[in-house]
Each structure stands twice: as C-alpha cells, then as structure tokens.
C-alpha cells in the first residue's frame, strides 16, 4: 500500500468534517413535481372501488384533444403508448384522463424521460402497492399481452394475430421512421423537453441529439433494418 504524502494529509486535515442528514426519498417539492407530470384516468362508474394498488403508464409526453363527448382529453404523444393506454382502459374499466375529471381514479398516465426505463424505452408500467414498486418495460408488457391473449387461446382468429403484430412491430417501426425524419422543432410536442432549455441552444441540442442516438436502437430497430442505415450513411458520405 502507498502512504499518503504528508503535505497532502495536512491539507485534508485542515478541512472540518461535516455530517449531513440523510436525504429523504420524497419531499414536498418532489411530490409536487411528480404530480404535475401525472394525468389521472377516470373511473367508468361513480361507484368503482379504489384499491391500495395503483399504476402509472410512463410515456414520452401527452397531447390534448377534443373527444366526441365534447370533453378535452389527454392521450400519449406516440402511437405505441396510446395503444397501451387504451388496453389499460379496457382491462381496468377506465376512461382516458380529462381536463376536468369528476371521477378520478388512482391510476395515471405520467410524463417521464426514457432514461427512467431500465432499457431506455417507453412506455413503462409502474405498479405500486403498499409494500413494493415494480417497473415493467414495454417488452415485458407486450410479452404479458401475448401470453394472456394468444398462447392461452390459440384458436383466436389469424386476422387478430396479424393485427397484433402490426400494432406491436409495424406501427412501431413506422413511428421510428417518422421520428428519424421529423423536424426537430416538433420534438417539444413529442417529448417532454424542459422549457428552460429553450434559453440555451447548446443544451437543447445536446438533449435532442441524445434522443436521436437512442431512437434507432428502440426495439432493435437498427439491427432489424441494417440496409436502411447503410443507405443513409452512404448518402451522408457522398454529400
């Protein structure tokens, strides 16, 4: 082992040692920030019983639209998350979040960064109860849907299987292609980018470049479509 030089030891000995209190897992400011990111599903019926367990669907961003009933509703900004939100509504007898909810459930859609996901892909399903919290990735969600609907019921119509594949993969690939060709000015609508970054072109560019660098790897898009990227690199090299 090496000895610490005496001069260095004296330098560090001159600084007083301070013990700081532990940082709590949640604070009032942190809770308020999280609530601002949440949009709560509505119960279909006024008499629906709330439970101690709840879930949040973590998505890139939400957009507002006017439903057929005239109410302003919130939906995820990407088609894959929208599909999962509708599945959750159907299975849990819920309605999409509205701007003026009168029968709010304990379950929500929540804006999060894709860095919050273990595999850096959204949506994620965050399941909470009194004892634990579980984060399920999109791959886990899709696998669960497949097992519960297709492996248990192999007699389902082949057309339904094709439709499921279209939503899970083809629609996803189409969305990734759109993202890779999207005007960066629209990224604020698709992703929840902090508005404070508008004050710094460099900081915002770094965030957007980080998104671009991850997008092509979602659901192994680049691995499954190597020729597309070979062609793009060829075009860039000839310009």
Whether 102 shows a pLDDT value over 80: the answer reads no
Phi, psi of 118 (to 5 degrees): -55, -30
Q: What is the dihedral of CA 229, 235, 238, 239, to 10 degrees?
A: -130
CB of 64 within 8 A of CB of 72? yes
Mean pLDDT of 1-23: 59
pLDDT at residue 21, rounded to an integer:
58
Question: Which neighbouring-strand residues pair with 59?
Answer: 111
Whether 114 shows a pLDDT value over 90: the answer reads yes
CA proximity to 140, closest of 191, 91, 84? 84
Confidence of residue 103 (pLDDT cuts 50, 70, 90): confident
Whether 39 shows a pLDDT value over 60: the answer reads yes
Whether 152 shows a pLDDT value over 90: the answer reads no
Whether 81 shows a pLDDT value over 80: the answer reads yes
Element (DSSP H or E) covering residue 89: helix 79-92
DSSP state of 98: B
Confidence of residue 123 (pLDDT cuts 50, 70, 90): very high
pLDDT at residue 156, rounded to an integer:
58
Report the CATH number of the 38-144 domain. Answer: 3.40.30
Domain ranges of the chain: 38-144, 149-238
* pTM summary value: 0.78
CA proximity to 180, closest of 217, 224, 205? 217
Pairing of strands 62-66, 124-128: unpaired
- Most confidently modeled of 96-105, 164-173, 195-204? 96-105
Report the alpha-carbon distance of residue 72 to residue 79 in Å, rounded: 19
CB of 124 within 8 A of CB of 138? yes
Confidence of residue 50 (pLDDT cuts 50, 70, 90): low
């Amino acid at each position: 082992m090496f000895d610490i030089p005496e001069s260095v030891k004296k330098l560090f000995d001159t600084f007083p040692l301070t013990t700081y209190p532990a940082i709590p897992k949640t604070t009032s400011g942190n809770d308020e920030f999280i609530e601002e990111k949440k949009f709560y599903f509505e119960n279909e019926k006024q008499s629906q019983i709330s439970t101690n367990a709840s879930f949040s669907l973590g998505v890139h961003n939400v957009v507002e639209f006017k439903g057929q009933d005239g109410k302003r509703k919130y939906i995820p900004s990407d088609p894959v998350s929208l599909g999962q939100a509708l599945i959750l509504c159907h299975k849990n007898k819920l309605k999409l979040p509205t701007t003026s909810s009168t029968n709010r459930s304990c379950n929500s859609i929540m804006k999060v960064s894709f860095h919050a996901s273990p595999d850096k892909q959204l949506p994620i399903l965050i399941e909470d109860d009194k004892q634990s919290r579980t984060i399920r990735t999109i791959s886990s969600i899709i696998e669960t849907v497949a097992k519960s609907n297709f492996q248990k019921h192999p007699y389902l119509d082949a057309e339904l299987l094709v439709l499921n594949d279209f939503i899970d993969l083809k629609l996803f690939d189409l969305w990734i292609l759109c993202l890779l060709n999207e005007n960066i000015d629209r990224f604020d609508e698709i992703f929840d980018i902090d508005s404070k970054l508008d004050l710094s072109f460099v900081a915002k560019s770094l965030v957007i470049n980080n998104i671009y660098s991850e997008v092509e790897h979602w659901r192994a898009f680049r691995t499954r479509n190597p020729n597309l990227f070979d062609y793009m690199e060829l075009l860039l090299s000839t310009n």
